[in-house]
Amino acid sequence: MTLIGKIVDGEWTTYQRGRNSIPAIKQFQLALRVEEKLSAERGPNNILLGQNLSDSADARAKLAQARAATDQSLSILLQAMRSQEDLWFTPLIANVKATTLNLALARQQVDLLAAKPKSERDADSVSVSVEMMVATVEIFSSTIGSLSNRVILADPQFHDGVESAQLSSRLRDIAGQVGSTFTAPVIAKRPLTPQEIYAFARLTGQADQLYSVIELELRSYYKNPAFKIALDNIRTHYFGDGVDFLNGLFAAGRTSGNYGLSSGDIAAIYVPMMSSIPELRELIVAELIQEAESRNQRAGYFLLATILLGIVAIGIFVMLIRLIRQRVLRPILDATELFVSFANERFETAIPEHLYNDEIGEMLRAIRVLKAHSLDKIRLEKEREELIKRLRASSDTDFLTGLLNRRAFYAQGEQQFGITRRYQRQMVVILMDVDHFKAVNDMHGHQAGDRVLCDVAELCRHERRKVDLLARYGGEEFLLLLPEIDLLQGIAVAEKLRAAIDAHLFQLDDGVVLKISASFGVASFEDDDNLESLIARADQKLYAAKNAGRNKVMPARQVNEFVVA
Ligand SMILES: Nc1nc2c(ncn2[C@@H]2O[C@H](COP(=O)(O)OP(=O)(O)OP(=O)(O)O)[C@@H](O)[C@H]2O)c(=O)[nH]1
């Protein structure tokens, strides 16, 4: 995203540069035209100052034309700068105004001289009028400099073109100044002064230098044949014919001062020889505008293409993110949730279907296998627990009656007994034995005996409370441990059970109905008892009950001489 942003930003900057550089080049062009007009105005000035008052009408008309052209170019430039409404132009507008003011003063000087008869126009005054015009161009040069910088700032690639256009304009001005060197001497028909000789040498030297720099700056433009032609024209018409003409004047100025030509003649011959210079300048500027426009257009296309590509790239990126979310992240999150659910033994969450045969699909298949294994494992664990429970129950239980066996009775009875002793509570033990059971076996078979034992166990179960422990103590012997009751209550329980067995009709498989009885020994907890001693006392009383004739309840202590049955 950042990369796309940077690329679009770069293209936008290039596009903006192009947009800014086109008006900047056009303003620069307007300023160059002003400079050309300012330089060109010196020609008609020189012609007029070389004319007699009587035949100067034509020269005046030409000067008025040149001045109008200068004024028009200045006003077009001012208008262009003002229309920008940009404070950056404020000093430039001020400079144009200063140029205009100076130009007015220079023109005033020319007009003053031109109003005098030719014989009264002294050479110094003519030189001053030429210098004032030259100074006007100098003043204006800062506007050209600023506008050229503006173009280069807008797009540094235009540096060489801008500089060569500026130098061409300067070359035109210098060439004009070389010609103007002869205005005063020609009008006065005198040889050149040492200052004029020096000025001529200096200015022609400058013109040579400027031209070689222009050629260098324009090397990247050589591929355009129009440039080659324009440069050749300058070399032929200006540096060839023009310089030859100047050298002829200079030779006359160094010797006789007899130039054989008026200043008007000189201007008429020399000015066309310079015209190839502004032609080159216009060509350069036109090329700059064309280049800026095509570059701007290209930048616009690039910008558009970059934005479109950026949108496509963002679209692809978003689609990829969504695809990754949908095909990778979402399944991984789902898988994580599934793992958490499985870890908490919640298996109801459905495993999502994955449409693709990829790594995520593999993972979901593995989760499905894991779920099946986990469910199997849990089922096996449950079965195992169930089995353990059943095994424990069977090891604690008498296989025939389902009551506690003797071992289990002691394990649980010790616990119960411990509580009774610790908290000094009450407890009763009833030991019961079926009377003459051997006879049942003997008469009806062992299976019938088993049946009787099961019925007796059921009757005991019926009588006991939840807290009571009931166990098969031996073959036909049953034991009841009754917490929280006293001896009297225990006797009542035993009696109730005795009566129930006595009243019960034992139905055998072969249809025989039996009546049997049982004898009971009852003992209650005493301070120095342990479980064995308590049971032993109940056993003694059972023995006593047997001896007393069976089907009896015999308590360990005398309870108001209570003997039951
Ligand atoms: N059917 C059956 N008989 C058993 C079982 N356990 C012990 N017996 C029998 O129970 C009988 C107990 O007989 P005895 O100890 O002589 O006592 P009794 O016949 O009940 O006589 P008294 O106790 O004196 O009234 C024996 O014949 C044992 O074989 C059993 O699980 N099933």
Residue type, 229: I
Query: Atom 9 (ligand 1): residue with closest C-alpha?
Result: 438
Q: What is the pTM of this model?
A: 0.56
Handedness of CA 164, 168, 173, 176 (dihedral sign): positive
User: Which value does ipTM take for this structure?
Assistant: 0.97
**Nearest alpha carbon to residue 335 among 298, 288, 368:** 368
Contact residues of ligand 1, CB 6 A cut-off: 400, 433-438, 441, 446, 449-450, 453, 475-476, 546, 550
H and E: helices and strands count for the chain = 19, 7
Query: At 210, is the secondary structure helix, strand, or coil?
Result: helix
Query: Atom 31 (ligand 1): residue with closest C-alpha?
Result: 475
Residue 426 is classified by DSSP as -
CATH topology of domain 400-555: Alpha-Beta Plaits (3.30.70)
Q: Which atom of ligand 1 is nearest to the CA of 446?
A: 1
Query: Atom 18 (ligand 1): residue with closest C-alpha?
Result: 436
Query: Atom 6 (ligand 1): residue with closest C-alpha?
Result: 475
Q: Structural domain boundaries of the chain?
A: 2-305, 400-555
Query: Atom 32 (ligand 1): residue with closest C-alpha?
Result: 450
Question: What is the per-residue pLDDT for 253?
Answer: 96
pLDDT tens over the chain, length 565 residues: 777 778 778 778 777 777 788 999 999 999 999 999 999 999 899 889 888 888 889 999 999 999 999 999 999 999 999 998 899 999 999 999 999 999 999 999 999 999 999 889 888 888 899 899 999 999 999 999 999 999 999 889 899 999 999 999 999 999 999 999 998 899 889 999 999 999 999 999 999 999 999 999 888 877 889 999 999 999 999 999 999 999 999 999 999 999 999 888 998 999 999 999 999 999 999 999 998 998 888 888 888 888 898 889 889 989 998 988 887 788 788 888 888 888 787 888 788 777 777 777 888 888 888 888 888 888 888 998 888 777 766 688 998 999 999 999 999 999 999 999 999 999 999 999 999 999 999 999 999 999 999 999 999 999 899 999 999 999 999 999 999 999 999 999 999 999 999 999 999 988 899 999 999 999 999 988 999 999 999 999 999 999 999 999 999 876 654 444 4
Residue 565 Cα, ligand 1 centroid: separation in angstroms? Answer: 23
Residue 436 Cα, ligand 1 centroid: separation in angstroms? Answer: 7
Q: Which atom of ligand 1 is nearest to the CA of 434?
A: 20
Question: What is the per-residue pLDDT for 565?
Answer: 47
**Strand 553-555 vs strand 518-524: parallel, antiparallel, or unpaired?**
parallel
How far is Cα 458 from Cα 542, in angstroms, rounded to an integer? 21
Q: How many CB atoms are closer than 10 A to CB 81?
A: 21
Asked if 433 contacts 477 with a C-beta cutoff of 8 angstroms, the reply is yes
Residue 476 Cα, ligand 1 centroid: separation in angstroms? Answer: 6
Query: Atom 5 (ligand 1): residue with closest C-alpha?
Result: 475
Tokens of 5: 């942003």
Asked if 14 contacts 316 with a C-beta cutoff of 8 angstroms, the reply is no
Handedness of CA 70, 74, 75, 77 (dihedral sign): positive
Residue 560 Cα, ligand 1 centroid: separation in angstroms? Answer: 33
Handedness of CA 145, 151, 157, 163 (dihedral sign): negative
Instruction: Compute the chain's Rg from CA coordinates.
Output: 67
Question: What is the per-residue pLDDT for 513?
Answer: 95
